[in-house]
Amino acid sequence: MKTIMRGPAFRFFCVLSLTLLIVACASRGRPSGGEKDTEPPVIVRSDPENFTTNFNKDEIRIYFNEYIKLKDIRKQLIVSPPMDNDPIISPQGSAGKYISIKITDTLAPNTTYAFNFGQSIVDNNEENPFSYYRYVFSTGPTIDSLSVTGAVLDALERQPETFITVGLYEVDSTFNDSTIYKQKPKYITNTLDSLTTFSIENIKAGTYKLVALKDNNGNYTFEPKTDKIGFVEGYIEVPKDTNYLIKLFKEVPKLKVLRPFQAGEQRVGFPFEGNPEGLKISMLDALPEGTKTRITKDRDKDSLYYWYHPKLELDSTFFKLERGTFVDTLKHKFRPAEKDSLTITMLTPGNLPYQKNMTLAGSTPFDLLDRSKITLIDKDSVAVAFTIEEDSLLNTYQFPIELKEDERYAMSILPGAFEDILGTQNDTLNFNFRTRKKSELGNIRVSLINAKLPLIVQLTDEQGKVLYEKYAETSPVVDFTNIEPKQYQLRVIFDENKNGKYDPGSFLLNTQPERTSYHPVLEDTNVRANFDYNISLTLEN
């Protein structure tokens, strides 16, 4: 016997069935999105074909199986040999299914050219890279097939620079030491953004100069003011089964003094490049009897200041600058400027590290000092003995004392303790500083195995900034005591010329930078408070 639904129950059943049917249909048609595309684009053909000989076209087209775009093409693309007129590359700023290379330069005969695209070719949707594609052609009957390989490291820093240009200069009758400053290399490549290795390919047999540049201006020439450089000493012969290691460094520029300027009412500024140590500055005009002059160096900028007192009644003068074989004469026109005033500040206020001295710096050159007007006491108001050391170039006074642990110090300076060359004296000054508990600090002992002394031992931060430094001259064991708890990196410099500082190389002098070594086991040294840390570092001599 069949049961027939009628009335409200029947209508409810119909509505429920229809709703379920709609939901089922909607669910059945919902797209899943599919798997993410991870495949790089594929080249389907090139016109002319890759590795074409007797090339004589003015445009190259490289076709792909999907839409592609060029990413960071200006940095990634390397053309070897470089062209005087850059080729026009498209697409840029949009997507397309082919790359167009329009050649706007006159190509050299019987020469193999290579376009190295690096990681610039990516698909349009997911940016999957078609990595390190090279398009090669020759204007002659053969493709040059020799190569030079190697690696580029930074001579001083742990982390190497990225996008290093590595070039070969052909050594012929026109090559000399100034070539790298004026001309592009014959062959060129790039280490890109994640590699330290390089490979210069499709070159012909010959004699070359191998040079690496951190080419900040992108012009393939060496500009010492902005670029780092590395080179292989002498010349290399191709072919030769050798893997070259190049160490990149920043040259100390040759001393150059730029046009002077009126920096203050009684102060002339001399901007400089290079190292001004030992530079003498004198005015060629005869100075009035009793005139005081001083030279100071700006602590933050590359400028020297020539101070004079009293004011000079001159419209202009000539300054003579000399140091060894360096001699220059510069004209200066005196102009109105603001009067300098004496202010005295304490460097490193607050907590004074155990490795430093309390130091006062003046805004105008110190001339006279009355020690009797300076007192230093500790937290118990007990007088503390001190000595005074002057640095006239930096215009500072240091006050070496025997620092006690967890101590507070107060320095009182009466009016007239300091007088500058302008005749200005100080007002009453008070400076306070303190030391920390040694239990809040840490210690590191470094044992240098196979040490060939002297060595410069440094603790640096991740950026290579020197935080602590010791000179190992007589012992291969170096102690860093009472240092700030933090992470450090250990760097050792082989002080080959025994001058107590790191010396970079020089291309013109054909000298390499002094060798450095980092701690090879730990990426960093984590110093904790009240903790003694011991490191052994084996050096290769």
> What confidence score (pLDDT) does residue 12 get?
44
Helices assigned H by DSSP within 348-497: none
How does residue 14 score in pLDDT terms, banded at 50, 70 and 90?
very low
> What confidence score (pLDDT) does residue 2 get?
40
In percent, how much of the chain has pLDDT > 70?
92
> What confidence score (pLDDT) does residue 131 get?
84
Beta partners for 194? none
CB contact at 8 A, 418 and 426: yes
pLDDT in tens, 308-352: 999 999 999 999 999 999 999 999 999 999 999 999 999 989 999
How does residue 1 score in pLDDT terms, banded at 50, 70 and 90?
very low
Judge whether residue 539 has pLDDT over 60.
yes
CATH 2.50.20 given to domain 258-333: no
439-538, CATH topology level: Immunoglobulin-like (2.60.40)
Mean local confidence (pLDDT), 175-191: 92
Domain range summary for the chain, segments of one domain joined by +: 43-138, 146-248, 258-333, 344-436, 439-538
How does residue 132 score in pLDDT terms, banded at 50, 70 and 90?
confident
> What confidence score (pLDDT) does residue 170 get?
95
CA distance to 70, 72, 162, 163, 235, per residue, from 196 (Å): 23, 19, 8, 9, 22
Examine domains 258-333 and 439-538 and report if their fold is the same.
yes
CB contact at 8 A, 426 and 433: no
Architecture of the structural domain at 146-248: Sandwich (2.60)
pLDDT in tens, 40-77: 999 999 999 999 999 999 999 999 999 999 998 888 88
String of DSSP letters for 293-330? EEEEE-SSSSEEEEEEES----SEEEEEEEETTEEEEE
Distance CA 307, CA 257 (A): 17
How does residue 19 score in pLDDT terms, banded at 50, 70 and 90?
very low
The CB density around residue 466, as the number of other CB atoms within 10 Å, is 12
Which of the residue ranges 354-358, 418-422, 479-483, 515-519 would you say has the lowest mean pLDDT? 515-519
Architecture of the structural domain at 344-436: Sandwich (2.60)
pLDDT in tens, 504-531: 999 999 999 999 998 865 555 678 999 9
Mean local confidence (pLDDT), 426-439: 97
43-138, CATH topology level: Immunoglobulin-like (2.60.40)
> What confidence score (pLDDT) does residue 204 get?
93
Mean local confidence (pLDDT), 274-300: 95
